[in-house]
Chain A
Amino acid sequence: MGLSEHIVMRELDVPEINDFEVYRRHGGWEAYRMALKEKNPADIVAMVKESGLRGRGGAGFPTGIKWGFLPKGVYPRYLLCNCDESEPGTFNNHQIIDRNPHQLIEGVALSAFAIECHTAYIYMRGEFAAAAITLERAIAEAYRAGFLGRNILGTGFDLDIYVHRGAGAYICGEETALMESLEGKIGQPRLKPPFPAVAGLYGKPTIINNVETLANVPRIVEKGVAWYRSHGTEKSPGTKCFSLSGHVNRPGNYELPFGVPLRELIESPEYGGGMRGGRPVKIIIPGGASAPWLTHEHLDVPLDYESVAAAGSMLGSGAVIVLDDTVKAPHVAYKMDEFFKHESCGKCTPCREGTHWLVRVLHRIAEEGHATPEDIPTLHGIYNQMAGNCFCLLGESAVMPIKSALTLFPEEFEAVVAASRRLPHGNGQRDGKSGPVIPLSARH
């Protein structure tokens, strides 16, 4: 299932497409110019709504509907572009910007026009320092060409786009934490409602969209809804830039229509090129670290939101991590939860404490090879107390790796328990004095 034309990674083969003039020669900025001259903001919103474009940041929420939540007549409004890409396995925002920054800027500008906003911020994670410079350079080119600034192209529309660098916090990819961070505070999420569309940045109506989402907008406006809907599936129209990583021969970004089977992404010589060394697939994480795991049994699942959800996982950000049989499930869960523990903002107790204790127990099991029979119910107990009880999705996400590992590979935990049983001191009594570990689940 190839793709005749790329949308997000448009002009894939054009050298110097990062240059304003080259992008312009390939039809770039044309959708924006046409929209400003000939269309109303409401037309663009309607087009995006009808295109069925869904947010690519993870939730898959329809973008046009999100834009429709803005209260009428309340200004100023802000547009925020979320480029705080920090979840293990995700790396397409970075490459979209590196390769073709103008496409994103045009998408931001068009969307700002559509929602009648005059200030847009692109919030980049602090580590994307060089990409931020690339983007700022491209924004400066757009200003010089008169596509940004005051009275753009004589239409009376004003727009400023600024790049704002975060400083190393995954939680700032959560939309309300991103706004807190942009307001100069620590990145802790806000209570919802009110949703950002009603009260967002500085308490004003705010729309937040992911880089990949906004990069779709120029082509939708330029080529129309029918063209866009001819890609992908009925419920997941368009294409997705899948970030494939792990033990594959050709890790990288592959833009494919929604609905392509996992097997094709992993095995096709055009894409993943199969597993390194021909090893078997053990764990597939189809949507970034927060997605429940799949296994080799799910290789025929089509990659669209509905099918992946039906298989018991989520497409999320489309970051597909494929691991072979050299990895151990408890260790993968340990590394993943160590990530969430490190990135927990500390605001709510289930996440702050839960990730902490998951990592403590998993570290002992995965790194030291010591486990007691009680560890397994303890782990179940910890994640059950987190699930559904966290303030934002970070804590909920931390449940997925350990829950998946325990569900799909219980024998690997039991093997550690069995091996520890043979160890005289490996019975969970840390120093022989503190008594046995009481599982959390047994304390209630």
Chain B
Amino acid sequence: MLLETHRAEIETILSRYDSRRSAVLPLLYLAQDTYGYLTEAAIREVAAILGLPPTDVFEVVGFYTLFYNRPVGTWVLQVCDDVPCCYLGAEELISALKQSLGIAEEQTTSDGMFTLQRVKCLAACDRAPVLQANLDYVYDVTPERVNALLTNLRARAAEARQRGVSGRFAEDFEWGPDGALTLIDRAAPYRPRQFPAASPPAPLEPEPVPEADAGHDRPTDRKASPL
């Protein structure tokens, strides 16, 4: 029970607000990290601590994207596929991750290690393509870095299980000059990213014109409708 295992932390959280209900998000994070995901019992427990009808808490869990009411992997990989990331390699990154992990979006690997999700803007557009692993930012994740990233994350699985998926102990990462994943140096002065000078522009290829009979068979492998 949360109240027995985390009483001091819960009381600190409650003391910050003039209304107990305000503590629902931090308590759900705590419950999520304690139980791995938000089981029905965990949601009811949070409701009981706050003296709320359980439906109020179920509603909150359903509304916010960072709460999981089903089991997720040790590492939840959330890849931003928004503008501008999607034009700077996010789709290639997602393909590489799907191929390496053998899963599609919203699925978890059979060993329970990784869950893959597409998410909306992560507010790190200058470091595209970008993903979060259990809310640890990892910047500049080009497809070539996927294997190094997955190896690194697998090696830190025990640590991830201890910290949970809610980012209560999050750290941010980038790639060092030696190609290794390194913690962000927050003490360093701000420097914008610099892409290497590129070759002169290649002319755009003309639009492919569909063949006259191309519409006879609508492709079966077309992307699923987002809805």
List the interface of chain A (C-beta within 8 A of B): 9, 12-19, 76, 85-91, 93-95, 98-99, 119, 125-130, 132-134, 160, 162, 164-170, 181-187, 202, 243-247, 249-254, 273, 276-280, 285, 289, 319, 321, 323, 325-327, 332, 335-336, 338-339, 341-343, 345, 356, 359-360, 363, 367-369, 415, 419-420, 422-426
Contacts and interface: CB of A to CB of B under 8 A. Distances in A.
In this complex, which of B63, B169, B194 has the most chain A Cβ atoms within 10 angstroms of its Cβ? B63
A323 B215 CA distance: 31
Contact of A170 (B120, B188, B197): B120
Contacts of A95: 190
24 contacts: A12-B190, A16-B187, A86-B120, A89-B121, A93-B123, A94-B123, A99-B190, A125-B123, A127-B78, A127-B132, A133-B169, A160-B16, A164-B25, A165-B167, A167-B28, A170-B120, A184-B22, A184-B56, A186-B63, A246-B87, A250-B193, A277-B201, A332-B83, A424-B216
A126 B135 contact: yes
A143 B61 CA distance: 33
B18 A202 contact: yes
Contacts of A12: 189-190
A300 to B, nearest CB: 22
Nearest to B124: A91
Given A86-B121, A133-B170, A169-B65, A252 B225 contact: no
B198 A251 contact: no
In this complex, which of B120, B136, B214 has the most chain A Cβ atoms within 10 angstroms of its Cβ? B120
B192 to A, nearest CB: 3
A313 to B, nearest CB: 16
B87 A94 contact: no
Given A251-B126, A423-B214, A129 B135 contact: yes
A129 B120 contact: no
A277 B199 contact: yes
Nearest to A126: B66
A243 B193 CA distance: 12
Interface stretch (B2-10, B93-101, B148-156, B203-211): B203-211
Contacts of B19: 183-184, 202
Interface string B175-198: 000000000101111111111011
A13 B213 contact: no
Nearest to B122: A127
A321 B123 CA distance: 12
Contact of A184 (B24, B119, B201): B24
A326 B204 contact: yes
A164 B29 CA distance: 12
Contacts of A87: 121
A76 B25 CA distance: 23
